[in-house]
Structure 1
């Protein structure tokens, strides 16, 4: 929503005062405050040592008060549609919300000051009651700290007594945020054919995004994850709208007057404030059939009516059933709502009982959405449903252990999708994708551990910063490794016990290790789980295992791209070895060990392979003789090497070359076998690694012969799909469908004439026919991009017109990317300027557009200049991901200098670590290019001579 449609802050404050008094009768009617705390409590309340705390910590709330239950009333005053009347200069829309909250809490240590959180709220009328004695305690002063703490300090006339039970009532007002955080407004256009003048009508809704520290923007609360409580919520909303919240609504909505309804929800189970959620909209539901849990999937009415929520509704039931069986614990509520929002900061958020998604992550349109889009929807839903156990039911004590939420959800989602959609055959691809993403981020000295001390994660920016690739991808990768170490059945048994014993409580990784240790001991295991796993979670990075198959020795060393960095870190490394004879053995390489000579020794000149099926989180280097044997095997009969390892050998070799551990020629030689390879995993790994070479050399003379080589290598793969591609059809099997897209993208972007002609012809036909799109949905993204890249103004503006007029979220997503593919700098510049207008490019899409433009060599400098010129605006989105992508091509001293000045001159917020890593990576790139450019150029010239 544009700012000129919002009421001013001054007006909001004045209106709030009037509103608080005017709704007193309504509030009394809607919420009846009880005078004692409910005895229904799923878990015992925690106790704390009775030591003198004095003032609260700098950033953390004191633990002397423990919230148990909230009664919250929220009243967003927005309109779902703008009503413009004659002689009215301003539209009717408002951004104001008002409300009140009563929090019931227990005092574990006497204090005369209550501390909780409140941010950007006007707070009124503090009232404290001793519930045990039914006595009111006078409030002397209420102070809202205008600093990073966001503390709301309430000073009392009398001290609260240890062991006493109290309630705190507060009224408040605020404004809907304009950055998709806290409580915010979202807009969409209702498709209304036949409407007067064929105009589409703007619709408005309200949604929430509380993770990690934004609940305090909506109501005063103890906004830390280990302050779990029940939430009993009432929403006042306009007629013709529906309110959804975490809890169950069993009584419908009560009429307040001709304009307003009141919807009350049953108390939730114990949960953290970051999981609090509600929406108010005119959306409609698609129910999921069968089952104990009532599942409803909400979306825009026209999307629901068209069946775009059908796949999500079907797959959600299957995934929920899978997790209930896998964990042996029922989903803790009788209802599960999920809603597809037009605007959201994240693709999905796991709020208990009300999961929110960006529309793209939930809606699937048959005949328009890519078949591969189903995979992405299923994986996202599985991730958010896994959180109902990992995060919602059992929650980390503090944000320093957020990997216990995100790592587990990422890990479990892979196996859920593999179980409910086996035809996708996606498990190996997703495991390797997580592994390689983590490897890339974790090979820098500026990386971060999975689990750090609580003291290192205090400010809101520090908390937001831990939501990174390490948390998600490395978290999942080390869980894959741990399950392999103790055996998967043992791991699964431990996880079921862990979830059962700690439901509705808060844990840390040490508690997890205890449960896995106990299950391993019962299985006669010999692993010291905490000792082994602490080396993976409390340290940055990962090891490079160097194997000498002649002597049988194996050593480990911290793998870093920067060869000048000094590190003495070491790990307990689970080694799985496969010999050419198919013999497989497993050993644990301990810090200081030199390996097992029998396991690593090559006999009769046969090759050995380490890290079979890529279950270990480490890279492997061999003596030159073993590398040659493996290379020969790949070129003669690659099927002898497990599929995942064919991809991993390429990834290891390229990254060892980047770290100057092996000669770059070795990595490039490994790409020769890919010409005859048809499987997805090796191709994905090859493309991913050659992208680094493209970024480093696409502004130099290396790029010409490199393109020619890639064109030659991909041509057989492209030809194998040509019958499908030319006829706009796709093969069966999602792996083949993905590889078809890979073949087109690599072939066209490297100038294969028949590929470019194909893309141009299909796009030209679309431009002529206009109303009929005969391009298969799977192929639209890559064909749109390549046609725009090899076209001009006409092709770009046709794509822009399609973007503006399309209502399908999949199609809009494809076009958003395709528009960045043009090589015309002036068009890219215009596209970036469009991101400053939220009526053209939604705020949530701004960072995506800039990232897409920066990946285009013609747009990289434009994107870098643009984010610096408009930092305040663009940094409202995924700023860490934005910096990572925009700086990924930096490889000159000039670019390094600009990046260092950027670090000094700008408020980086949660992107601070990403900028440090970008500086380190740029230095590595500069040195690597200076040492390898001539070698790489010579290799590509020799291969294409």
Structure 2
């Protein structure tokens, strides 16, 4: 039983009275709403809209600000929507709707601001809304209404004042376009059994709910929602809550179905979801009666592609209930795979939406990596059902609290569902090291930004970035490590109980974690949770910890990829951190230390010449580590003599830290390169993946210079033993390794062997592909190896291989297989094929809108395709900005992908010219990505000038 809270008898009685009043108010409002709805139901099919009055030119008025004033508080919405899945007389897909919202006046005002974007609202006596009051109060008349386009408000000026404490009902009717823009309420099209199908779906995060119905569209503005969907008889409607009933009705002579859903829990607008489709589902009920359903296209369900997601959903929900010490708050958990979806997935409460690749698994065609992605994405989204949905951030400046937390605990839920996969270790690769890559730039930003820095829709979208997700996960992992997981979970559970169905800020979490620390006998921290953690979330970046094992001195410094760069963002903590350091001395794990200042001479890290120190054990902290040269030498010697003495995660850490310290001029680049020599004997996935990422960076830097040849010879020597190892244990590539991560290492061995020219590798992959071309209906290539095989075969072939790959892509019925082919098509070395492929990204009939930017990214990763992609995006910038400019990851990744290879002064000048030429159009959610591209290119130019020759000489000496 969870810990309760004491409430006095008088408070309890008052609460009961208020609850009764609220219930009567809702009933009364429902009656009013239903009367309005019945009077206007027929208008749904032919509502007309008069021209919008011109927007007044004002300055510093409430409607010119992006944040809603604190004068009104929504309590209850009643929304009916009718999506038309056939074109109307003018060739458009539309939806119509009616909406009522009951709100309480908090402060006296004669102004109502409610978000509305790209909706045509019906006029009532010259105004865009109707206003009524409750409890015997007379609502003031509406004086005028207009749309403030920049801030996306419907502005309603009143003749009189709204009264504090009183409730009012705002009613609107509207028409919107059911576009294919992947935002708000939109349509998706796909073909099944030769028939074109259209479905209506939603994506409300972060500022798109206002495109579906007028609403107070801020995360802290929670309310209860009653949703009704009108749809074709053969379709099924879904929403956040359980369906109450579906009835057949006739509206204006058209027979349709009307599905009414029960009231939601109190929730934010960005979590609202509805789908109208002819999808099928598989289901199961858990021990507590919660209905779990997986929805997808009929063929996908019939083929069993939803089975794995159904299998893991129950244990993951079970894990999080225990972890949070809070029951799952809803009666059902629907998860649906969508053909068109801009994000990977979205945590809508009770109706989680996914890309097909993130939910559907086919054992015949999906790789082991596809299966792991489904596991982690499902775990991430279900983690949000509590952290993010039950308790929500007050404003988007603290997005890291939602996304960083889910990105951390997704590994815990995944580990519970698949305990033999070592999922907890993989956070090192996919979050910690990913965060380091961008947080070492001066263009980074703190996890928690000032509210005034995050206002516009583009600024909100830009918060959905690596810092919020991956750095958030890394910092919370560190916090959990030094508190211990039981203390962390205890504080978290109490935090969720206090703020359930409400909103909070990050300091509320610190408060509850501090209480958990105080209640734990024997636990002491050097400072409070607030004092420790504020240094990690209120200033950008992270420290590099330098340990001198000759003296025992330990010091810290703000790590910057370009050490001479000027950090313009000021920090009240002067870029110093309170750093928890777990470490070991040769074979023995030592007690954790804290570095609480810039330098500390009194640490026990002084060792003899025969010992070595390894800090940040299992990468529990969010920092890099540098050592004196002697200790580096001893660590490298240990790797070469018996690498297994060093934990597998720390082998990856040594590689990644060394290369990035060399890039930032902390150590010599040849020292970093020497850490790769032991890889001849390495068989584990995590170190190899860390090495491959850093070596890929070298590929991008040097594949246009004389360094490339010598580097290829060296890497061929390093990868050959791994290639031969897997060739042996797989019986000449006919069997799959039994270990989960061993299958990933096998892929690395084949991919790197082919790219470096290991004898027999390319011939092997091309023969497999040629065999498939000869019998297209029988693909015998193992799903794990298909990405590598497809890419190598298409790269080594011409138009015939490309066209075959394109045909197979068009015929693919499993999304994961389609992604493999779409990526491989970018591997061709034929320029005209790449140019044609680029053109396809602007044709949704060939490349779906959700896939356009990533396809360009695939092409840009090809040395021949990179300049073609750069020119193509520049030439069509207005188009791409219009289509994707407010997207989150997709748009920023487009900029990162097409500039990833840039490392020359000419390319830097092109970047700056591109920034200048398009300043008027803007860069939307890619603004920071462009700044980072300029910063990275500048750093690479300087680094190459100093290091190219030593790198060349080292590879030549080692390749001999």
Separation in 1, partners of 2:859, 2:42: 54
Q: Deviations over 1:34-56 (max 9, x none)?
A: xxxxxxxxxxxxxxxxxxx9846
Shift of 1:108: 1.0
| TM superposition shift of 1:835 | 1.1
Deviates more, 1:110-119 or 1:588-597: 588-597
Classify the secondary structure of the residue corresponding to 1:560. Answer: coil
The equivalent position to 1:773 in structure 2, one of 779, 788, 791, is 779
**8 A Cα contact 1:127 1:136, kept in partner:** no
Cα pair distance change 1:563/1:720, threshold 3 Å: same
| Correspondent of 2:41 among 27, 35, 40 | 27
Match of 1:935 in 2: 950
1:334-368 per-residue CA deviation (whole Å, 9 max, x = no partner) reads 01111110000111000011110011111111211
Report the equivalent of 2:680. 675
Retained in 2: the 8 A contact 1:375–1:424? no
1:452-489 deviation line (CA, Å, top 9, x unaligned): 11011011111100100000000000011001111221
Match for 1:398 among 377, 395, 401? 395
Match of 1:139? 142
Question: Aligned partners of 1:627 and 1:792: how far apart in 2?
Answer: 47
Q: CA deviation at 1:448?
A: 0.8
**In the alignment, what sits opposite 1:552?**
552
How many angstroms does 1:725 deviate by?
Answer: 7.1
1:803-857 residue CA offsets vs partner (Å, 9 max, x unmatched): 1112111111100000011111111111111111111110111011100011111
The equivalent of 1:35 in structure 2 is: none
> Alpha-carbon deviations, 1:540-595, whole Å to 9, x = none?
10001111000110110000011212565111111112101414121110123325
Cα offset for 1:134?
A: 5.6
Q: State the shift of 1:290 in Å.
A: 3.4
TM-score, length-scaled by structure 2: 0.90
The 3 A distance-change label for structure 1 pair 388 and 582 is same
> Is the deviation greater in 887-896 or in 603-612?
603-612
SS of residue paired to 2:257: strand
Matched with 1:85 is none
Which residue of the partner structure matches residue 202 of structure 1? Answer: 196
2:956 counterpart SS class: helix
State the match for 1:181 in structure 2: 183
Of 255, 265, 268, which aligns to 1:269? 265
561-570 vs 581-590, which deviates more?
Answer: 561-570
Work out the CA distance in 2 between the residues paired with 1:289 and 1:123: 42
Which consecutive aligned stretches of 4+ in structure 1 deviate over 6 angstroms post-superposition?
A: 20-23, 90-93
The DSSP-based 3-state class of the residue aligned with 2:189 is strand
2:726–2:733 CA contact under 8 A, matched in 1: no
Report the secondary structure of 1:721's partner residue. Answer: helix
- 1:495-523 deviation per Cα after TM superposition (whole angstroms, max 9, x unaligned): 11111111111111111111111111222
Q: Contact 1:176–1:185 (CA<8 Å) still a contact in 2?
A: yes
- Mapping of 1:88-167 within 5 angstroms? 94-124=92-122, 125=124, 126-133=129-136, 135-147=138-150, 149-167=151-169
1:486–1:525 contact (8 Å) kept in structure 2: no
Deviation of 1:743 (Å): 0.6
| 1:209-220 correspondence to structure 2 within 5 Å | 209-220=203-214
Distance in 1 between residues matched to 2:496 and 2:502, nearest whole Å = 10
- Counterpart pick for 1:318 among 299, 315, 318: 315
Residue 78 of structure 1 corresponds to 85
Matched, 1:857 2:851: no
Give the equivalent residue in structure 1 for 2:8: none
Distance 2:370 2:825 in 1: 20
SS in 1 for 2:565: coil
Q: 1:822 aligns with which of 820, 828, 837?
A: 828
Q: Secondary structure at the match of 1:178?
A: coil
User: Structure 1: how far apart are the matches of 2:646 and 2:246?
Assistant: 61
Name whichever of 794-803 and 600-609 sits farther off. 600-609
CA separation of 1:162/1:21 partners in 2, compared to 1, >3 Å: closer, same or farther? closer
* Structure 1: tracts of 5 or more residues without a match: 1-19, 31-52, 83-89, 192-199
CA contact (8 A) 2:357 2:370 kept: no
Going from structure 1 to structure 2, the CA distance change for 1:409 and 1:725 (only over 3 Å counts) comes to farther
Cα distance 1:22–1:391, how it changes in 2: closer, same or farther (>3 A)? Answer: closer
- For 2:279, the equivalent position in structure 1 comes to 283
Q: Which residue of 2 aligns with 1:696?
A: 701
Return 281-290 or 909-918, whichever deviates more: 281-290
Q: Where does residue 438 of structure 1 map in the other structure?
A: 435
SS of the equivalent of 1:753 reads coil
Q: What's the offset of the Cα at 1:615?
A: 0.5
Shift of 1:288: 2.5
How many residue pairs get matched? 885
- Cα distance, 1:136 vs. partner? 4.5
The partner residue of 2:328 within 324, 327, 331 is: 331
What residue in structure 2 maps to residue 888 of structure 1?
900
Cα distance change, pair 662–872 in 1 and its aligned pair in 2 (3 A): same
Partners of 1:779 and 1:580 lie apart in 2 by: 39
Measure, in 2, the Cα distance between the counterparts of 1:358 and 1:487.
35
1:890-929 Cα distance to aligned partner (Å, 9 max, x none): 0011111111122222220111111011101110010011
**1:728–1:775 CA contact under 8 A, matched in 2:** no
Once the two structures are TM-superposed, the CA of residue 714 in structure 1 deviates from its matched residue by 0.4
Q: Is 347-356 or 171-180 further displaced after alignment?
A: 171-180
Q: How does 1:567-606 map to 2 (within 5 A)?
A: 568-598=574-604, 600-606=605-611
Q: Which moved more, 1:517-526 or 1:293-302?
A: 517-526
Say which of 652, 655, 661 aligns to 1:656: 661
**Among 714, 717, 722, the residue aligned to 2:722:** 717
Output one character per residue of 1:716-762: Cα deviation in whole Å (capped at 9) or x when no partner.
Answer: 10111114273442110111000000111111111223110110110
Q: Distance in 1 between matches of 2:408 and 2:389?
A: 16
Report the equivalent of 2:852.
846
Match of 1:34 in 2: none
- Name the CA distance, whole Å, in 2 between partners of 1:791 and 1:184: 40
Q: 1:135 deviation in Å?
A: 3.4
SS state at 2:368 partner: coil
- Counterpart residue number, 1:236: 230
| Conservation of the 8 A alpha-carbon contact between 2:577 and 2:596 | yes
Tell me the SS of whatever aligns to 2:146: strand
Distance 1:498 1:23, change over 3 A: closer
Q: Equivalents in 2 of 1:850, 1:556: separation in Å?
A: 40
Kindly provide the CA deviation profile for residues 270-322 of structure 1, in whole angstroms up to 9, marking residues without a partner as x.
11110111010111111134332111111111111111111111111121111
Name structure 2 gaps, 5 residues minimum: 1-33, 45-59, 568-573, 885-889
Report if aligned partners of 1:339, 1:354 keep a CA contact under 8 Å in 2.
yes
